[in-house]
Amino acid sequence: MKGVIIGGGIIGLSIARELQKAGHNITVIEMYRVGRGASWTAGGMLAPQAEGLEPGTFLDMCLESRDMYETFVKALEKETETDVGYWKCGIFCPAYSEEEEHQLLARMKQYTDMGLSGNWIDRKSLEGRYLSLGKDIRGGVLYPDDAQVDNRLLMIALEKYARHRGIHLMEFTQAEELIVQSGRFTGLKTSKGTVEADYCIVAAGAWSEKFVRAHIFPIKGEMAAIDVDKKDIDRVFFGSRAYLIPRKDYKRLVIGATEEMVGFVDGNTVKGILQLFTGLKETLPHLANRNIQEIWYGYRPATPDLLPVIGKTEVENLYVATGHHRNGILLAPVTAKIIKELIVDGIESHYLEEFSISRFRKEDDGQN
């Protein structure tokens, strides 16, 4: 079977790897370099609990993917001889106000009632642990099972995998138009000619709307990175004012992230960067003296209900896997598994119903 995937981000490349392992002949169409979209710009947190996700199907899918991560990265590291910086460091959520403390504790209780781990750490214990602590911080919740991966290293590894295992990467190639005959996908017009295939998967991130009947739009996020030292911070801090992600090798601390509904507007802004550095200063103040390494931005792929769209479309042999919004790095293993099972084994995961693109088509049909 020959498959073509539009988009060489974490979703496209993770799916390509699964399908290649199943013996399919895969081509990935990427308008720039593979792995340099949202997947390059992310924080790499694997944080279903720190994100405070509402109990339900989406949380279940995120937890399943978090559980799959260690096996996923170990296999990929072996296949590519590339360390991807996976670190089960735990994620700490500081409370900057009494109201936030109540909210965090309520969510933590829901999680612990479900059998998940989580515990409160009070301010006094934090003061003993860190060189400085923002004056508003009252304590916070630690989720020891949340983790992180260095998403840039992960993209390098996935690219390496593709190149060495015969996945055809067509970079600097624009996917332009689907060829559909009698409701069935037959080929893809690109800036470098037509690619014929048995099926196509749209994994074009925030740019996917061009190919599927659902509103998919970018939510911009600005990020920064500074120098960091081992004694500064021992795990990810996921605060409402900023999140701080020390990489496993302590070569950088990643600071995130703004959320801006501005469309595709390139560049960092003073306001965005100020927000990040103010959040940093109000969390671990002594880090304000560190050197800045880099500032950047990216576009999260979002849908109207902020949940992913995964599975079949109204066109036969055309599939979609996008809209992962804030959790696309986390959700890559489970998404790749779901799509592989659907296409190769004909198994429809129970997640597909909830995340089907038809939920948007139904809304459209109702309005029209």
Interacting residue ranges for ligand FAD, rule: CB under 6 A? 6-12, 29-32, 36-39, 41-45, 174-175, 203-207, 221, 223, 256-257, 298-301, 322, 324-330
Q: Which residue has the tokens 């306001």?
A: 271
- Nearest distance from C-beta of residue 85 to ligand FAD, angstroms: 13
Residue closer to ligand FAD by CB (options 43, 134) is 43
- Nearest distance from C-beta of residue 218 to ligand FAD, angstroms: 8
Identify each DSSP E strand in the chain by its residue range: 2-6, 25-29, 45-46, 91-95, 119-122, 139-143, 147-148, 168-170, 175-181, 184-190, 193-196, 199-202, 217-226, 236-238, 243-246, 253-256, 292-302, 309-312, 318-322
Residue closer to ligand FAD by CB (options 3, 139) is 3
User: How many Cβ atoms sit within 10 Å of the Cβ of residue 191?
Assistant: 12
Residue closer to ligand FAD by CB (options 44, 85) is 44
- Nearest distance from C-beta of residue 32 to ligand FAD, angstroms: 5
Distance CA 200, CA 75 (A): 26
Q: Which two tokens stand for residue 260?
A: 């801006």
- Nearest distance from C-beta of residue 272 to ligand FAD, angstroms: 10
Yes or no: say if 16 and 26 are a contact pair by the CB < 8 Å rule: yes
Residue closer to ligand FAD by CB (options 139, 303) is 303
- Nearest distance from C-beta of residue 12 to ligand FAD, angstroms: 5
Helix count and strand count (H, E) for the chain? 10, 19
Distance CA 140, CA 59 (A): 21
Residue closer to ligand FAD by CB (options 152, 325) is 325
